[in-house]
A and B are shown apart, each in its own frame.
Chain A
């Protein structure tokens, strides 16, 4: 069975410092993994995705994530936070099996960026 655990419900960083948002998953198959960002009262925007190619994935706005199969992790990082990064971030796992894709969302991590 699939599951996604975002280890922190809130993360607070200062502008210009690194960001780390943690995500662990479980999957019975070879999953696709995604990070989405949601700004207040907006829909979800794809930041990046892992689809069994390179394990280090680069996304938009300077974000990266590394797929570590041995640790079943897909943590999201950014070297230097910007005020505009303050938002809710969702880790998502999607499995393709005989029934088609099954997609599970994590509970989300709210990122606060202090000036």
Chain B
């Protein structure tokens, strides 16, 4: 079990450029989550997938953000026309589908830090 993997770990880009982050969840986990964390704050929910279906999106996810999980395995988070306010750590987490035997524990990756100049 290699855990949740995210890349790139760091991305520096100029305002207006597009960036894409990738997340590989734990293989048997069918739920995948994206969170955004700014300095000094806790993680804020962005969106989540159950298999390939995107089931919920936060109001934080503007039209410039899009997430996909085409085959129900890895996921990508793309930010178009980046703005300085997009600078943050983007965290991916995965877990098993909810059920009475499931504790709801999230398994996090190391995150992808975005700096927009």
Contact = CB atoms under 8 A, between A and B. Distances in A.
Interface stretch (B14-22, B66-74, B79-87, B98-106): B98-106
Given A43-B91, A105-B43, A32 B103 contact: yes
Interface residues on A, range: 20 to 34
A94 B42 CA distance: 15
Contacts of A44: 43, 91, 93, 106, 108
Interface residues of B, number: 29
B110 A42 contact: yes
B108 A34 contact: no
Given A43-B111, A44-B108, A108 B41 contact: yes
A82 interface: no
A29 B97 CA distance: 18
A106 B42 contact: yes
Contact of B104 (A32, A36, A105): A32
Contacts of B93: 44
A46 interface: yes
Interface of A: 32, 34, 36, 41-46, 49, 51, 90, 92, 94-96, 100-101, 103, 105-108
